Structures are given as structure tokens and as C-alpha cells.
Amino acid sequence: PDRLAERWAGLFDAVLVDAPCSGEGTFARDPHAVRGWSVDAVQTYAHHQLVILEQTAPLVRLGGRLLYGTCTFAPEENEGVIAAFLEMRDDFELMDLPQVPGLHPGHPEWLGLPAHLRRAGRFWPHKGPGHGHFYALLRRKGDPADPLPERWRGSDVPGRVLALYRQRVGEALVGAPPESGLLLDKEDALYIAPLAPELWRGLRVLRPGWWVATRRHNKVTPNHALAMALRPAQAREVLDLRPDDPHLSMYLQGSSWPDTGTTEFVLITVDGFPLGWARRTGGRMRSHYPIHLRR
């Protein structure tokens, strides 16, 4: 986070810290987490978490929010870390969390901490969703001093690739594919990026924007992330499946079935909600559901 803060200080209205932790909330399903637990480990994690929050704080714009989360029960890693952070950073304040089902107040009394830390929240595995989680919502005091950078609307794509993108992705959509902010990265992925490349180049950025397509062997293929952001009316052809349709199970398994249509890329939906692309080729409808999501 300190490398990010050097480049992106005050750039974000909202930051999520999914902190590394002792993982007590995963004990029921992960024997390795149980064997790796110790009192010393809890203290070590608490130290790392506080350092991460310290390094992350400069990223948050005045008036912005910082959400801290763990999947552990240890108060030293939860209420204790937040209390220590607030002592160090008087420009942050603890806010109330949205009152969602299953959320319970924090427990500052376990460490003899101030009662206002009850504004933090816990999900208990026997009372709500998940295996056990802690969240604290922090706000940086004040009002924004400077406007955020304008959304980048340039383009950084070679002309031949752009022509392929317009043709191939355009065949899957109604109307022209998005181009404002389009760039091609070193892995041949095409993104719609909200920030100018000079703001993030040199940093390890997992996704610089909305992944809309991929170039492979002089072909461009629409990406799963593009499908997931579409409304059915935006796709040239939609196959809407019922939840009990056997084709749905085949699609989620990465399989195929006979089909004689003409449109190559078809948006698969269930009750109108997008699941991803299928590709019609060789008289069959072939699932393009990502391999890592398949059943």
C-alpha cells in the first residue's frame, strides 16, 4: 500500500482493506488454519494489519471512506487494530455500518476499549452469512480539497487491433463497442481504463479497468467481464435459460450442444441476468464460461 500511496495519494473516495488475518472464521473448513494458529500469530497479524492501515490511509480522499475487514474473531485483530489506528490518525472517524441482516455490533469490552467501537460489526457463523467476519467503516474527516482526475478518454491500441476489436466485438453487440479509454496491455488484454496509463504504469495493477476483450493469434474475443456488465438489450443475440433448463447445467460445466443459428457470440442469461458468452461454431453452441468458474 505504501507504493500505491506514493502514486495515488488522495485519489479514492472509497478503499477496501481485506486484511490478512489469523483466519479463525475459516477453522470449520480449513484444518491448516487451525494448525497454524497461535497467540503469537494473532499478535503478529495485528501488527501487520495496523501497518497496512497506516500505509493505506493516504490513499483516501478527504471525506472518503475506508472499509476494514477480516475473517477472524480475535479482538486484537479487529476492534484493537481499529482503536490503535484511530489513536494514530485523528483525521479519521469510525462510522455506523449499514444495518444488513445478520450484522451484530463490535465487542470493544473484550479489550477494555471505548464503547464507540461497537459501531464496528461482526457476522457470526451461527447467526448469519459466511464463516465469521469483522468490518469497520472509517471516514476521513473534511471535504475534498481538489477535484479528482477526469476520466481518461484516450486510446492506446494499435490501428489493426482496433479494427479487429470493432469488427469482432461489434458483431456481438447492438451498436458500436465501447472505445473511450481503450488500451491494450502486455498480456494482449483490451481494457476500458478510467485512469490515464501514466498514473498506474510501473505498479502491479491486476486489472487497470473493465476487461472487454482479448487478442489471441490475430483474433479478438469478447471477454466474460464484458458480458457480465451488459443488459440483454445490448447483445445482438441472447439465449435466456430457465433455472431448470438442462442447457444451463451444460453451460456451467463448459459443455456444448447442437445449434444451427448464425450469430457467433451469444449472451447467455438466466431470468434476464447475464452469465457469460457462448460461441456458436461447427453447428454447436459452445460454452465460453470461464474455466475457473465451471462446475
Q: Which residue stretches of 107-245 are H helix?
A: 159-172, 224-228
Cα–Cα separations (whole angstroms), residue 125 to 17, 29, 130, 136: 21, 12, 6, 18
Contact between 214 and 184 (Cβ < 8 Å): no
- Assigned C-alpha cell, 14: 472509497
Active site residues: 71
Cα(7)–Cα(2) distance, integer angstroms: 9
- Assigned C-alpha cell, 63: 471525506
Cα(121)–Cα(98) distance, integer angstroms: 9
Contact between 286 and 276 (Cβ < 8 Å): no
Q: Are strands 189-192 and 210-216 parallel, antiparallel or unpaired?
A: antiparallel
Cα 238–Cα 163–Cα 230 angle in degrees, nearest 5: 25
Cα(139)–Cα(14) distance, integer angstroms: 9
Cα(117)–Cα(121) distance, integer angstroms: 9
Cα(55)–Cα(1) distance, integer angstroms: 5
